[in-house]
Amino acid sequence: MRKPFIAGNWKMNTDSASAVALAASLAEELKGVDTVDMAVCPPFVYLQSVAAALSASNIALGSQNVYFEEKGAFTGETSCGMLKDIGCAYAIMGHSERRHVMGETDELINKKVAAAISGGLLPIFCVGEQLQDREGGTTNKVVSGQIKNGLVGISAEQMQAVTVAYEPVWAIGTGLTATPQQAQEVHAMIRGLLAELYGNEIAQSVRIQYGGSAKPGNTAELMAQPDVDGLLVGGAALKVEDFAAMVKTIA
Ligand code: PEP
């Protein structure tokens, strides 16, 4: 049985005061929830103050990115060890904005997945097709390529640390949500591919989140799909009442 997992990706939003206030309100609002794993991923500069606000809570901390090298001359980057050091449990990698705005490749994302697992962080490994892929009928080809290339060299044992997030790019921040059926189709395809790569037992244990304009009003129908194990939430994660409502719907 896979425990549901919801994560909030705050992206490049909040400031020092509002980040702490958001985290503190969520901690208060969601105390006692133990049937859903929860995490928030604030901007890097607020990770430590959010960590303090969450210290007595059941909400885990995640980063929005990570670099694969341990240390050295990599200006502007942050290592897994640094993130562990300040209390991060999770790290998002392969987010579509990093793939398509910052130009990250499958090869780079694969290095991040491997480094995160070796460094004791739990990857939230994002994949998803663009609108032209969906319209051109190549969704499964694109997503399966991202999965295979992003997981090169990752063993079955290591795979148990990974959450996959399926985020159709055309649904991110656009207000367009994949229908529950569209989400389920791709989630089932991903789980089938994981079974080919790692065997059925591992495939059945890996959590696959959906992301793309998830909000309180569509949480129940998305979560009702057999292969949707949680949500990666952008915009709605910035509002205490929305994120809390989604957690409570799932719980
Ligand atoms: C995201 O960026 O991971 C995301 C799913 O954003 P939104 O919920 O705003 O579409």
What is the total count of domains within the chain?
1
Q: Any idea which residues carry the catalytic annotation?
A: 95, 167
Check if the beta carbon of residue 93 is closer than 8 Å to that of residue 111.
Answer: no
Enclosing domain of residue 28: 5-250
pLDDT at 45: 98
Q: What is the CATH number of the domain that holds 34?
A: 3.20.20.70
- pTM for the whole structure: 0.97
Confidence label for 110 from pLDDT (cuts 50, 70 and 90): very high
* Short-list 109, 141, 110, 118, CA closest to 128: 141
Q: What DSSP element (H or E) covers 233? A: strand 230-233
Alpha-carbon distances of 249 from 5, 59, 228, 230, 242, rounded to whole Å: 12, 16, 14, 11, 10
Instruction: Decide: 235 in ligand 1 pocket, CB within 6 A.
Output: yes
| Number of residues that this document lists for the chain | 251
Q: How high does pLDDT run on average in the chain?
A: 97
Question: Which residues fall within 8 angstroms of residue 214, CB to CB, at 6 or more apart?
Answer: 177, 222, 231, 232, 233, 236, 246
Contact 226, 184 (CB under 8 A): yes
Return the pLDDT at 108: 98
Using a 6 Å cutoff on CB, does residue 62 contact ligand 1?
A: no
Q: How confident is the model at residue 118 (pLDDT cuts 50, 70, 90)?
A: very high
177: confidence class by pLDDT, cuts 50, 70, 90: confident
Residue 227 has pLDDT above 90, yes or no: yes
Q: How far apart are CA 149 and CA 153, in angstroms?
A: 9
CB of residue 64 inside a 6 A radius of ligand 1: no
pLDDT in tens, 178-221: 899 999 999 999 999 999 999 999 999 999 999 999 999 999 99
